[in-house]
């Protein structure tokens, strides 16, 4: 039904220069209809412009956002306390790798408007920085463990590794 509606041409100008009837948009719309369109407001043409936003968020979105925020915190901490950069950088890299893997599993890019950077490290006292990061990691580890417990089989191993990695970060900050 959606596909019979005239598509608002000219509103999609960036997608391969084929406004409106891009194959991808049609495929996406087809996928949505195949899913029964549940929870998708079928307001005709608008569907093509905001298909990603109208799908319910993946339960792993918060974990992916947390990984990105943790990476940013470690990068900021490495700048604030250069003496500990050697320790912080591999952990920042691990969080980035986690975010990338989570994005692959989610199958969608980060929602626009999600913060690119976490809170900046106000404290520059190395012990305070480490303590704060340790707390953040501990919380992150608990979140990942909960996500692992609730996840379908195909996501369990990745989430288990992320939970375990965050636990080792707590240890590495001691």
Partner 1 sequence: MNPTSGPAQALGDALAAEYAAIWAYGVIGVHLTEAARSAARAAEAAHRSRRDALVLQLSSGGGPVPADRAGYALPYPVTDRASALKLAVEIEERTAGHWRAALPHTTGADRNRALAALTDCALRATRWRRTAGVTPVTVPFPGRQA
Residues that bind partner 1 (CB under 8 A): 86-87, 90-91, 93-94, 97-98, 101, 145, 148-149, 153-154, 156-165, 167-169, 171-172
Closest to partner 1 by CB, 25 vs 68, is 68
Quote the least distance from Cβ 151 to partner 1, whole Å.
Answer: 9
Closest to partner 1 by CB, 28 vs 96, is 96
Quote the least distance from Cβ 72 to partner 1, whole Å.
Answer: 17
- How far apart (Å, rounded) are the C-alpha atoms in residues 107 and 105? 5
Closest to partner 1 by CB, 12 vs 130, is 130
CB 6 within 8 A of CB 47: no
Closest to partner 1 by CB, 29 vs 163, is 163
Q: How many CB atoms lie within 10 A of CB 6?
A: 8
What are φ and ψ of residue 133, in 5° steps? -65, -40
Closest to partner 1 by CB, 47 vs 63, is 63
Quote the least distance from Cβ 28 to partner 1, whole Å.
Answer: 29
Quote the least distance from Cβ 153 to partner 1, whole Å.
Answer: 4
Q: Which of 65, 79, 56 is nearest to 126 (CA)?
A: 79
Quote the least distance from Cβ 54 to partner 1, whole Å.
Answer: 30
Alpha-carbon distances of 111 from 11, 36, 65, 143, rounded to whole Å: 20, 23, 9, 20
Alpha-carbon distances of 133 from 33, 63, 64, 103, 138, rounded to whole Å: 44, 16, 17, 23, 9
- For 40, the token pair is 């998708």
């Amino acid at each position: 039904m959606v596909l019979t509606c005239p598509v608002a041409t000219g509103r999609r100008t960036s997608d391969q220069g084929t406004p409106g009837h891009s194959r991808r948009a049609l495929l996406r719309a087809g996928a949505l209809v195949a899913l029964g369109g549940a929870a998708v407001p079928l307001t005709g043409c608008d569907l093509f412009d905001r298909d990603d936003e109208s799908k319910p968020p993946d339960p792993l979105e918060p974990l992916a956002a947390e990984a990105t925020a943790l990476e940013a915190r470690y990068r900021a901490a490495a700048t604030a306390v250069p003496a500990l950069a050697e320790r912080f950088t591999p952990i920042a890299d691990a969080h980035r790798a986690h975010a990338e893997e989570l994005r692959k599993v989610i199958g969608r890019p980060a929602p626009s408007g999600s913060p690119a950077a976490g809170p900046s490290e106000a404290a520059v006292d190395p012990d305070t920085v480490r303590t704060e990061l340790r707390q953040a990691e501990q919380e992150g580890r608990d979140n990942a463990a909960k996500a692992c417990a609730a996840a379908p089989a195909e996501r369990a191993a990745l989430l288990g590794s992320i939970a375990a990695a965050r636990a080792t970060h707590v240890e590495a900050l001691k």
